[in-house]
Chain A
């Protein structure tokens, strides 16, 4: 049998087998048989050695054509097989894809911690360092050094948990800090300007707990002191914070307010996210939501820690954290944050 005939027969046989169909395994066996390293086609090509140049050319061209044909036929068969396997109509083992997936446990960070983290990172990006301070404090840091000497009306108005502990040698009394502001003083005692810090943390107020008040809550404090820091920097920095945290389209409003450790003092409100300023239940009809208290560091506070208030100036701010998720998500009862009911916490 001449080689041409052999090739013809090989072609007929191979294509015939392929047309007969089969599964993935038989297709792979077919590929090895006809296209593999030890295939009949390879053997035929190997036997070319004994032929004349003319014959070699002719048979070589013929066998190449055959190889291309078989390759193409194989690819078509492979595609057909894949398409058939993938079409679910054919498959015997269909599944109810509406069944739930195997559960992966998912924990949640506490919403207050989430908000604190987010706020801290915004200020970090503006060059503020995150610091933390003691939750049990001396009245010296919590009040005296913040321009609230004993019997100052503002100090008297701040309801305080005093601890049943003797005063220290300097006569300082122990309390649960009523704000994160003592860290302003602690930081300025140890560092000279420029200073840029934020202080997140737990604070306590001697206040009956109700839907809008907690005896324990979280605050974040900010302080920037340097030469040439002005109220315009305060406004710009806090406005920038509000843009990043609440969204670039929310308006902010500053009004005068009083805190003993700042002068001028300010309060910042953000346009209500629900009604966008029209007034609704969440914002009490005002269209604005009070977010933080702020102001220029009082000269007495700067002088108290030995910073020359004629040369340096600075701003400080403080905000309650529970209000933020409260306001963002419309939570009506602030007590939920520390009630630790999983049905609540899992929503954040």
Chain B
């Protein structure tokens, strides 16, 4: 809502500077987003054209003598609309103007034009920054005070208010005046609504029928005959321009003016085009059509509330008028509608027809039905004054949905309970009265309060309490800390697990990313390299095809993030994300398991001295998962797996406590690396944190420190290529004196027979009850060797 300070001042005295008033209104709940100062025209004055003479050296230029009251000046002027006697805006040298052609800021300098000195300039609207019009000079009204500073005469300040959905009153200049009055302690001068009717009784001219009091609680109408359609007077045009509304003709402008003034949308019908002198407010029939003011034929539905005459629809209630009853140049009799419609009905129609308007914005915010009559009176009064018509005797006022605002009982203790501030009863009363409420004292500490007719948001105790607080200013409420008992807390272990995982991985060098929960099917499919099962949840009206559904896997998005980064830098990149995936569940909300997905890749070797040289591989990935799980205190092992997104033979399922599969890791399937344009060696791990959660209990197991020394021995064995490290280690660990077996070398090549490989282990022997002797250890070592030979065909590498 754009509100002119000049207009506002007609109803309330304002002594504050505009920027201070803006701050006050903002603090009280309606943000003044912008304060625009119109004017700032130093050295521009109201002048009058006294003499026009031809320019001695140019056919298209003229010399004008401008009377400034105290003196006459001569200017060179090229404007076509120069007329003797017209009041104009005259700029002296030094005035700050906009260039009439480029729109850039300029400072006017005295200049000679074709040999004649011009002492200033007669300004166009564009040069004054009033509009884009540079057709001719701005002609001021004849009553413009000669010699006055233009800024005093025409300057204004426009407040641009961002009105919250609960305050339709702030979509009106009067509402803003009431707000200003309450905040500054001033009083409001409401406009005079009197007029003298001169026509015949309105009941002889029109009858109104409302079919549904819920949809149309009130319908008021007035008729003005003998109007002359024409251009609006300057004051009316200026008022509309200040609020950003285009001037159409005097009748339409008056309806808009009153809407801006009272917040009550009005509609003017050409009375002579209403058939059979009857208006019916009803729901449209399915398939009924009408052409709206914008010339578009609209198909109506049974949910659309319309204004109709007995023959056809003539307007869509609260949204837009119809073309057949439009006020045109030929109109002589006008029916003014000032009605109240159900907010949701107007909203739904406006959304369905995609026709939001100034009117619908007010109805949707649920304006009070009480506004209809005063706004109508104002419109009739102005139409007589501006359009020269005669008002019919009486006004139509059908009010089947009348619901008077209920009085609310407010106590000082309730105010104290909610605000935490003792507000004296007298101040409560004074504050509410300043807002326009009717306040009746019930007892020393309680009141009955009735909200003013322009406020639709004051219904409950809390609403009035907010108004007391915001008028006093929130700064008057003290700051206290919660004093009650701290409630019991239920543990939320996922928070701790997630934080642990994230910190451990960041410590390993992984960068955390957050990708969008919304994605598209191709990205999901490419990431998993398999058809989607289950089918993800889709968005009803996606904003773009890239965000059509909810992810069922993190892989696609994380791989896409990796691909984007690998294009920008060489070396190793490790990324991870923890987040939800959304698995549909029939008839209910989806299940949202918490997933962890890490990706690792490298291109080239890191171009850093002493940086990482080897390309990232499966064992980096496995190491990360092993390290993570060790940090979480979860024992894991790895078994062969068959995830379609990973390369067969280079992937493993992550098993916790030998039974819970909680994830998978491995090198990406070539189709996946290809789809995302990633290096072949890119690896991934994926852990379901919901499965991990009950296992990652953080319980620590204590083992007493050894009392007897350990004995170290190395053991290198040669086995067939097909024999795995885990087979060997399982046998070695089967011997009770073996405390630890660490693999330190894997070799296959010239020094071992083809088809064989050598694995070397560093073994630690230790006993809990005595110091081991060399003989004892040698005995165990040969037993190990024998078992390895018997079961795996292993031989000692010599």
Contacts and interface: CB of A to CB of B under 8 A. Distances in A.
Contacts of B547: 215
A104 B572 CA distance: 12
A233 B478 CA distance: 8
A103 interface: yes
A172 B68 CA distance: 72
Interface string A69-106: 00000000000000000000000000000011011111
Contacts of B460: 263, 299
Contacts of A338: 514-516
Nearest to B566: A342
A342 B366 contact: no
Interface stretch (B240-248, B275-283, B491-499, B525-533): B491-499
B466 A165 contact: no
A18 interface: no
Contacts of A164: 537-540
Contacts of B348: 151
A235 B474 contact: yes
Contacts of B543: 161, 206, 208, 215
A130 B492 contact: yes
A256 B487 contact: no
Contacts of B550: 136, 163, 176
Nearest to B489: A129
A255 B165 contact: no
20 contacts: A105-B508, A108-B512, A130-B492, A132-B495, A136-B550, A136-B589, A168-B588, A191-B487, A226-B484, A232-B420, A236-B481, A236-B482, A256-B474, A257-B31, A263-B463, A264-B465, A265-B466, A266-B474, A299-B462, A340-B575
Interface in A24-65: none
A156 interface: yes
A107 B507 contact: yes
A153 interface: yes
Contact of A232 (B344, B465, B478): B478
Given A106-B509, A228-B483, 7 more contacts: A127-B482, A135-B592, A153-B365, A166-B587, A232-B479, A237-B481, A265-B29
Contacts of A208: 543
Interface stretch (A9-17, A194-202, A270-278): A194-202
B474 A254 contact: yes
Given A194-B487, A256-B29, A156 B512 contact: no
Contacts of B171: none
Contacts of B588: 168
Contacts of B537: 136, 163-165, 174
Interface stretch (B208-216, B604-612, B787-795): B604-612
A153 B484 contact: no
A236 B507 contact: no
B164 interface: yes
Interface in A113-171: 113, 117, 120, 126-127, 129-132, 134-138, 150-154, 156-157, 161-166, 168-169
A235 B486 contact: no
Nearest to B503: A109
Contacts of A342: 511, 565, 568-569, 573
A316 interface: no
Given A136-B550, A138-B589, A256-B474, A163 B538 contact: yes
B797 to A, nearest CB: 33
Interface of B: 26-29, 31, 164-167, 343-344, 347-348, 351, 364-366, 416-421, 460-463, 465-466, 469-470, 474-475, 477-487, 489-490, 492, 494-495, 499, 502-503, 505-518, 537-541, 543, 547, 550, 561, 564-565, 568-569, 572-575, 579-580, 582, 584, 587-590, 592, 608-612
A127 B481 CA distance: 11
B420 A233 contact: yes
Contacts of A230: 416-421, 480
The A contact surface, by secondary structure, is mixed
B456 to A, nearest CB: 11
Interface residues of A, number: 90
5 tightest CB-CB pairs across the interface, nearest first? A105-B509, A232-B420, A230-B420, A264-B466, A256-B29
B511 A229 contact: no
Given A109-B512, A135-B582, A258-B165, A129 B418 contact: no
Contacts of B465: 263-264
A63 B547 CA distance: 93
B361 to A, nearest CB: 9
A272 B654 CA distance: 49
A202 B579 CA distance: 10
A337 interface: yes
A224 interface: yes
A216 B344 contact: no
Contacts of A255: 26-29, 474
B517 A204 contact: yes
A196 B517 contact: no
A258 B484 CA distance: 27
Contacts of A264: 418-419, 462, 465-466, 469-470
A184 interface: no
B518 A227 contact: no
A345 interface: yes
Contacts of A127: 482, 486-487
| Max count, chain A CB within 10 A of own CB: residue among B479, B482, B483, B582 | B482
A226 B486 CA distance: 10
A341 interface: yes
Nearest to A268: B474
A298 B461 CA distance: 10
A156 B509 CA distance: 45
A112 interface: yes
B502 A109 contact: yes
A259 B621 CA distance: 48
Contact of B486 (A196, A253, A256): A196
Nearest to A99: B609
Nearest to B163: A258
B462 A296 contact: yes
A244 interface: no
B623 to A, nearest CB: 12
A131 B561 contact: no
A240 B797 CA distance: 70
Contacts of A107: 505-512, 574
A151 B343 contact: yes
B165 A194 contact: no
Nearest to A169: B587
Contacts of B589: 134, 136-138, 174
Nearest to B580: A135
Given A258-B167, A263-B466, A337 B514 contact: yes
A172 B47 CA distance: 68
Contacts of A138: 589
A131 B494 CA distance: 10
| Max count, chain B CB within 10 A of own CB: residue among A107, A216, A237, A298 | A107
A113 B499 CA distance: 10
Given A107-B511, A255-B474, A296-B462, A132 B347 contact: no
Nearest to B495: A130
Contacts of A129: 487, 489-490, 492
B598 to A, nearest CB: 10
B508 A232 contact: no
Contacts of A299: 460-462
A163 B514 contact: no
A161 B490 CA distance: 32
Nearest to A315: B482
A298 B462 contact: yes
Contacts of B482: 126-127, 196, 224, 226, 229, 233, 236-237
B759 to A, nearest CB: 28
Contacts of B474: 231, 235, 254-256, 266
